[in-house]
Amino acid sequence: MKSQAEKGKEFRALHERDHAFIIPNPWDPGTATLLEKLGFEALATTSAGYAFSAGKQDGAVTRDEMIAHVSELAAATDLPVSADLENGYSDDPKVAAETILLAAEAGCAGGSIEDMYGRNDQRLIYDHESAVERVSAAAEAAHSLDFPFTLTARCENYLAGRPDLHDTIKRLQAYQEAGADVLYAPGLANIDDIIAVVTSVDRPVNVVMGLQGVQLSLAQLSAIGVKRVSVGSALSRAALGAFMRAASEMHDHGTFTFANDAISFRDLMEKFGS
């Protein structure tokens, strides 16, 4: 297995290339292994995908549970792993910084801190000053490590029902100045808005795809300057969608045609055995 320093350097270098890369989001060691075997270069965890796998709503996972999860996932692959650390599991900047250090100790090459707290109908955004203070504390912790740990700062305006492009750019610029290595505003669906964000900052920008109604390709995103493309919980939701359709077929019709589309037992044995 590669050392954490090697993974950290590899992960940082991916953001410095002249084209974008996809960083898919597994939710357990098995899916991480499959994504590595498919040839992806790095992985990112998904707080929602993991929560769903644990039978919980997004946001209901504790910090201890999440750190144990990212540790297990990072140990399952030789690829760099960036951890979705939600809001750092506290309003306190010092605790957010501590969460970054715990993710690094767990084997991650990077991690993200967002400016939203609460979930579902209670999605709230920290005031500008508090949000910047939290990113600054997280960046100080990340950059105190003895290997390159890539900190992603997330502006959650769009996911919180505040589609304010001006404020989103203002916040991302402030997070850049506070020390973030990568910037991310999930929920941007308009290519013009994405261009506006990319051209307004001097850090690599992550964009999430896999949202309903958003159909931009890796080539399109790369051409406008995006450096990293993630899919959030989309892979886990796709898997759960297939699961629910299969379960509903059995329950409602007593038939089993879903198995025709399932990956074969032999193929999975080969994937996990090599």
Phi-psi bin for 116: left (phi > 0), alpha (psi -120 to 50), beta?
beta
Which SS3 state, helix, strand or coil, does residue 181 take? coil
Could you tell me if residue 255 is inside a domain? no
**Block residue for tokens 């450096």:** 227
pLDDT at position 113: 98
135 inside domain:
yes
Residue with tokens 């399932």: 262
Residue type for position 72: E
Write out the residue range of the structural domain in which residue 196 sits.
Answer: 4-232
Q: How far apart are CA 36 and CA 207, in angstroms?
A: 21
Q: Is residue 131 part of a domain?
A: yes
Separation between Cα atoms, residue 91 and residue 109, nearest integer Å = 24
Residue 251 is assigned to a structural domain of this protein: no
Does residue 188 sit within a domain? yes
Burial class (CB in 10 A: 0-12, 13-18, 19+), 145: middle
Decide: 104 and 149 in contact? Cβ < 8 Å: yes
pLDDT at 120: 67
Q: What CATH number is attached to the domain comprising 225?
A: 3.20.20.60
pLDDT at site 58? 94
Q: Is residue 51 part of a domain?
A: yes
Query: What pLDDT is stored for residue 103 in this prediction?
Result: 98
* 116-to-91, 104, 113, 123, 247 alpha-carbon distances in Å: 10, 22, 9, 7, 35
Q: Are 139 and 183 in contact (CB under 8 A)?
A: no
CA angle, 262 as apex, 49 and 244 as ends, to 5°?
A: 50
Confidence of residue 16 (pLDDT cuts 50, 70, 90): very high
CA distances from 202 to 97, 175, 177, 237 (A): 23, 11, 10, 33
The two structure tokens encoding residue 239 = 């898997």
C-alpha–C-alpha distance, residues 44 and 182, integer Å: 13
DSSP state of 261: G
pLDDT score recorded for residue 215: 84
Specify if 200 maps to a domain.
yes
The rounded distance, in Å, linking the Cα atoms of 256 and 246 is: 7
pLDDT digits (tens, 9 = 90+) for 107-123: 999 999 999 998 767 88
Q: Which helix (H) or strand (E) holds 21?
A: strand 21-23
pTM of the predicted protein model: 0.96
Residue pair 178/195 in contact by the 8 Å Cβ criterion: no
> pLDDT tens, 32-65?
999 999 999 999 999 999 999 999 999 999 999 9
User: For residues 120 and 59, what is the distance between their CA atoms, to the nearest angstrom?
Assistant: 9
Mean pLDDT calculated for residue range 89-114: 98
β-bridge mates for residue 110, sequence order? 82, 150
Residue 122 token pair: 């209670």
Structural domain contains residue 246: no
The Cα 246–Cα 159 span in angstroms is 30
SS3 209: coil
Tally of structural domains, the chain: 1
**Residue 79: its pLDDT value, please?**
98
